[in-house]
Chain A
């Protein structure tokens, strides 16, 4: 909306959406502040995070330069390639932390599943928008198969967190495409029926353990329940105003595991309390709202579906991470987007925002 009447602003020409950029920069500022505390005041970690962030922003701005039509054209072949790579990972992938996720290309190791996070909503959006919406049943079935195949391959690695996020990004595109409520209800019933199958045949022991631990973390306080107990203690002891920056005893004294990656939210909550959480949540909702506005204002169905799916997936990231760290959801390996320490997820997320900026800034040219 903002840039509707001012086609030639500097930001427009740079293909950067300023309100979104400001929101993202604010979140990255929060990230650096919390990371400094979570790392035990090691500046090296901050420097590395800043380098990664710069790289991620370069990717974001780079992707924003490409028009949405480019994405709709290239998404299906990349998707196919991604599926092939996933099969390769399963066949001869690099094993790290007990799971096969990495593909070693000699020079770099990378996770094909990360690419799927972006290509999945793109492909579904491209497929559905190539037909009139709401989609016909046949197209729905094909779209669902396209969601399921990579999801299962990723779940097999095993990487439940990424599998869920990839599946969700595709499903959101289908939902936004206008699948009828009756079918949604039917699918919900189907998933409920599928859960026991998942539990008994598809889940690994450690995944089952995570779910059990989630249901009753106190049953194993020193083993698998340790993470969630310590995390809840950290959050709870933060109280309304928090213990203050660098004063979180749970994190500074290292009771909290994975405190600069997946559990960084616990560090944040311990030091900044409920007030801090409200501000962080507001920041996230601001970014999401901006992305939704971009999507609603987009001119084609592909742009709308892709933008909406990326936005909703981003929210799922936030919700799943905070939910698991605060004990609402089982522990799945999902970082707190833009705040957790880590390169891969940062680049993927920034790429998503780059695509959203592309949707926003290429509108007039396409119109």
Chain B
């Protein structure tokens, strides 16, 4: 205390004081160092596992890898649907400095449509900023080159390679093959409900139509994944683990593309549908609906202009006429009705019937006209089919009644899905009392049955149904299910063939009935009065068939049908069904030409041309895919 008052510096005492203080400070520093050490021990040893995990969570991301889609071949191994690499230009908005300026420059550099910009920003708004957004889905080789040279000017923009579906035959088989397109919200919902969403994490396209949709599960495959190390901006630095995807299975169709091309040529410029199938097992060799369209448009993402053009085309190219078109089957069903008549004992092969110009229900004034103004005169069942006598079948239907008729025709597959392996199918209408009640809230009148007896009235059927029904006929009642799929081939070559059912669709009292009906059809093509004898004159094989001419508008009792005076869409539909060779049929053709007029004159030559091609191998040339730049 004294020292402090008198200002004399005592260096020794000050040094001792400093020494003491320095010692305290030293102890303090030692303690704080221990504190740091303890904290580091806590982080690095005690909690090491936690932080190790969080560090890995930071850097490791699991990225799904899309499996390559299975290919589709025709029965001869011709490629119908393949995967081609395409290059798309993608931008990660978060990695760009001046997004708007860059997009403008890119549009100029790559000579893009100005509307691209608007579309791009719409997509940007829907995507998180650090995810890539495609600016152009498919770059041409030149665009790829131009971008690559200038890539350094566009940080955040990159070219990504994808596999995109391509259909080399273009519009040739669209309705059967279908197409794939971008997965949309509805698809996602469906996949989610089916528990398949995870498998589609990296997939961009999904089967939307036809075989591509029906066999989606086989074609898609199993997604793989990649464990990648990413940096703080999500950029992939390296791959840590790679679980390769399992490619989708290739599938082989029953379709013969040469025959399909032939069918396409035959229907070119006309509205209609044609099916050729093997009646023995139901394999569909050709399924042409005309007009068609290019499925590749949809894969690329169809523009709204192109789409509305397809949608509003009066020829309705989007409809699959072979499986969705409900047409009055007209006289093509007469052989099937005669099977009913024989089995129900309503007629015998020898029954004599006089066909006048009209048919009348006893006690009813209304007259149902035969297609021939003066009638056919005396006939038996064979001649009734040969000349397609309406009155014979009016009478048969009247006597059978709608219930029996409905029962038999349902067994031939009318009013039901044919089982064809695409989803675009309608059942058509096989009318019954119940159907009329629920559809029209009216009871069934006796008169309704009469026109059903010649395949008109309320009755509608699709060409595939007709092909199926006549296949059942040729197979003596065995159930035949039409199908496009031939086999599913695993990548190693092992194939799983489509299995064919054997159970009967219809059993009759006398197996000879089938032959009686087919004999009638033989006469249609070969008899002296056969309606299609001209079209089938001189075939090197024996064929049988049945024509059909379906009224599109009802005519009055005495009105004369004059095609030239009718609007085109009111003209008759031409139908034809045929099978060959007669002894042991290997092909059934069923077809319709809309508003083409009489079936024997207009449809029969087309059916014959297709049968010729198939049975005689008469193809114009080898199949040549329409090579188009994607």
- For B41, give the chain A residue with the smallest CB separation: A274
Taking CB atoms, residues of chain B closer than 8 Å to A281 are: 33, 36-37
Interface bits A148-192 vs B (CB < 8 Å: 1, else 0): 000000000000000000000000100111100000000000000
Asked whether B7 lies within 8 Å of A132 as measured between CB atoms, the reply is: yes
- For B9, give the chain A residue with the smallest CB separation: A132
- A328's contact among B19, B33, B36, by CB below 8 Å, is which? B36
Cα–Cα, bound, A237→B29 (Å): 27
- For B25, give the chain A residue with the smallest CB separation: A312
Query: In the complex, which of the residues A132, A319, A328 has the most CB atoms of chain B within 10 Å of its own CB atom?
Result: A132
Asked whether A323 lies within 8 Å of B18 as measured between CB atoms, the reply is: no
Tell me if B194 is interfacial: C-beta within 8 Å of chain A: no
Stretch at the interface among A104-112, A196-204, A250-258, A330-338: A250-258
Asked whether A274 lies within 8 Å of B231 as measured between CB atoms, the reply is: no
Cα–Cα, bound, A232→B42 (Å): 11
Given contacts A232-B43, A249-B229, contact A237 B54 (CB under 8 A): yes
- For A134, give the chain B residue with the smallest CB separation: B17
Q: How far is the CB of A339 from chain B (nearest CB, A)?
A: 15
Given contacts A178-B21, A301-B14, contact A240 B44 (CB under 8 A): yes
- For A295, give the chain B residue with the smallest CB separation: B22
Tell me if B52 is interfacial: C-beta within 8 Å of chain A: yes
Asked whether B58 lies within 8 Å of A233 as measured between CB atoms, the reply is: yes
Cα–Cα, bound, A236→B13 (Å): 48
Given contacts A132-B8, A278-B37, A322-B36, contact A234 B18 (CB under 8 A): no
Tell me if B51 is interfacial: C-beta within 8 Å of chain A: yes
Taking CB atoms, residues of chain A closer than 8 Å to B231 are: 253-255
Query: In the complex, which of the residues B9, B44, B52 has the most CB atoms of chain A within 10 Å of its own CB atom?
Result: B44
Cα–Cα, bound, A235→B37 (Å): 12
Interface bits A127-160 vs B (CB < 8 Å: 1, else 0): 0000111101000000000000000000000000
Given contacts A132-B9, A250-B55, A253-B230, contact A308 B18 (CB under 8 A): yes
Tell me if B149 is interfacial: C-beta within 8 Å of chain A: no
Taking CB atoms, residues of chain A closer than 8 Å to B45 are: 239-240, 274
Asked whether B15 lies within 8 Å of A255 as measured between CB atoms, the reply is: no
Taking CB atoms, residues of chain B closer than 8 Å to A328 are: 35-36, 39
Asked whether A253 lies within 8 Å of B59 as measured between CB atoms, the reply is: yes
Residues B161-202 near A (CB distance < 8 A): none
Taking CB atoms, residues of chain B closer than 8 Å to A305 are: 18
- For B10, give the chain A residue with the smallest CB separation: A132
Cα–Cα, bound, A235→B51 (Å): 8
Asked whether A132 lies within 8 Å of B3 as measured between CB atoms, the reply is: yes
Asked whether A255 lies within 8 Å of B58 as measured between CB atoms, the reply is: yes
Taking CB atoms, residues of chain B closer than 8 Å to A172 are: 25
Tell me if A227 is interfacial: C-beta within 8 Å of chain B: no
Asked whether A237 lies within 8 Å of B37 as measured between CB atoms, the reply is: no
Q: How far is the CB of A81 from chain B (nearest CB, A)?
A: 28
Q: How far is the CB of B583 from chain A (nearest CB, A)?
A: 77
Taking CB atoms, residues of chain A closer than 8 Å to B18 are: 133, 176, 178, 295-296, 301, 304-305, 308
- For A285, give the chain B residue with the smallest CB separation: B33
Taking CB atoms, residues of chain B closer than 8 Å to A237 are: 48, 51-52, 54-55
- A255's contact among B26, B36, B232, by CB below 8 Å, is which? B232
Asked whether B21 lies within 8 Å of A236 as measured between CB atoms, the reply is: no
Asked whether A253 lies within 8 Å of B229 as measured between CB atoms, the reply is: yes
The B contact surface, by secondary structure, is: helix
Residues B216-250 near A (CB distance < 8 A): 229-233, 237
Residues A264-285 near B (CB distance < 8 A): 269, 273-274, 277-278, 281, 285
Tell me if A288 is interfacial: C-beta within 8 Å of chain B: yes
Taking CB atoms, residues of chain B closer than 8 Å to A254 are: 231-233
- For B21, give the chain A residue with the smallest CB separation: A176
Query: In the complex, which of the residues B51, B55, B59 has the most CB atoms of chain A within 10 Å of its own CB atom?
Result: B55
Cα–Cα, bound, A255→B58 (Å): 8
Residues A221-254 near B (CB distance < 8 A): 230, 232-240, 249-250, 253-254
**How many residue pairs at the A-B interface have CB separations less than 8 Å?**
144
Query: In the complex, which of the residues B10, B11, B43, B230 has the most CB atoms of chain A within 10 Å of its own CB atom?
Result: B43
Asked whether B22 lies within 8 Å of A136 as measured between CB atoms, the reply is: no
Taking CB atoms, residues of chain A closer than 8 Å to B19 are: 296
Cα–Cα, bound, A317→B126 (Å): 48
- B44's contact among A273, A299, A323, by CB below 8 Å, is which? A273
Taking CB atoms, residues of chain B closer than 8 Å to A53 are: none
- For B8, give the chain A residue with the smallest CB separation: A132
Taking CB atoms, residues of chain A closer than 8 Å to B151 are: none
Given contacts A274-B44, A281-B37, A304-B18, contact A319 B55 (CB under 8 A): no
Asked whether A132 lies within 8 Å of B21 as measured between CB atoms, the reply is: no
Given contacts A132-B9, A292-B22, A305-B18, contact A236 B48 (CB under 8 A): yes
Tell me if A327 is interfacial: C-beta within 8 Å of chain B: yes
Given contacts A175-B25, A236-B43, A301-B18, contact A134 B4 (CB under 8 A): yes
Cα–Cα, bound, A249→B45 (Å): 18
- B54's contact among A131, A233, A238, A326, by CB below 8 Å, is which? A233
Taking CB atoms, residues of chain B closer than 8 Å to A308 are: 18, 21-22, 25
Asked whether B43 lies within 8 Å of A326 as measured between CB atoms, the reply is: yes
Interface bits A31-44 vs B (CB < 8 Å: 1, else 0): 00000000000000
Taking CB atoms, residues of chain A closer than 8 Å to B13 are: 133
Taking CB atoms, residues of chain A closer than 8 Å to B510 are: none
Tell me if B50 is interfacial: C-beta within 8 Å of chain A: yes
Tell me if B131 is interfacial: C-beta within 8 Å of chain A: no
Q: How far is the CB of A307 from chain B (nearest CB, A)?
A: 9
Cα–Cα, bound, A295→B456 (Å): 118
Cα–Cα, bound, A233→B345 (Å): 90
Taking CB atoms, residues of chain B closer than 8 Å to A301 are: 9, 11, 14-15, 18
Asked whether B51 lies within 8 Å of A249 as measured between CB atoms, the reply is: no
Cα–Cα, bound, A326→B11 (Å): 42
Asked whether B230 lies within 8 Å of A175 as measured between CB atoms, the reply is: no
Tell me if A7 is interfacial: C-beta within 8 Å of chain B: no
Cα–Cα, bound, A328→B48 (Å): 17
Asked whether B43 lies within 8 Å of A235 as measured between CB atoms, the reply is: yes
Cα–Cα, bound, A235→B309 (Å): 64
Tell me if B76 is interfacial: C-beta within 8 Å of chain A: no
- For A136, give the chain B residue with the smallest CB separation: B4
Tell me if B442 is interfacial: C-beta within 8 Å of chain A: no
Cα–Cα, bound, A118→B429 (Å): 100
Cα–Cα, bound, A237→B53 (Å): 8
Q: How far is the CB of A190 from chain B (nearest CB, A)?
A: 20
Cα–Cα, bound, A265→B282 (Å): 76
Tell me if A343 is interfacial: C-beta within 8 Å of chain B: no
Interface bits A303-327 vs B (CB < 8 Å: 1, else 0): 0110010001001000100110011
Asked whether A300 lies within 8 Å of B11 as measured between CB atoms, the reply is: yes
- A239's contact among B4, B48, B59, by CB below 8 Å, is which? B48
Taking CB atoms, residues of chain A closer than 8 Å to B22 are: 176, 292, 295-296, 308
Q: How far is the CB of B9 from chain A (nearest CB, A)?
A: 5
Query: In the complex, which of the residues B22, B40, B50, B59 has the most CB atoms of chain A within 10 Å of its own CB atom?
Result: B40
Cα–Cα, bound, A168→B28 (Å): 14
- For B4, give the chain A residue with the smallest CB separation: A136
Asked whether A175 lies within 8 Å of B43 as measured between CB atoms, the reply is: no
Query: In the complex, which of the residues B32, B35, B41, B58 has the most CB atoms of chain A within 10 Å of its own CB atom?
Result: B58
Taking CB atoms, residues of chain A closer than 8 Å to B15 are: 296, 301, 304
Tell me if B434 is interfacial: C-beta within 8 Å of chain A: no
B residues apposed to A, CB below 8 Å: 3-4, 7-11, 13-15, 17-19, 21-22, 25-26, 29, 32-33, 35-37, 39-41, 43-45, 47-48, 50-52, 54-55, 58-59, 229-233, 237
Provide 13 A-B residue pairs closer than 8 Å at the C-beta atoms, listed in order of the A residue: A132-B4, A133-B18, A178-B14, A233-B51, A235-B43, A292-B26, A296-B18, A301-B11, A308-B21, A308-B22, A319-B36, A323-B39, A327-B43
A residues apposed to B, CB below 8 Å: 131-134, 136, 172, 175-178, 230, 232-240, 249-250, 253-255, 269, 273-274, 277-278, 281, 285, 288, 292, 295-296, 299-301, 304-305, 308, 312, 315, 319, 322-323, 326-328
Add 10 more A-B contacts to A133-B14, A232-B51 (CB < 8 A): A236-B51, A237-B48, A253-B230, A254-B231, A281-B37, A304-B18, A319-B33, A323-B39, A326-B36, A326-B40
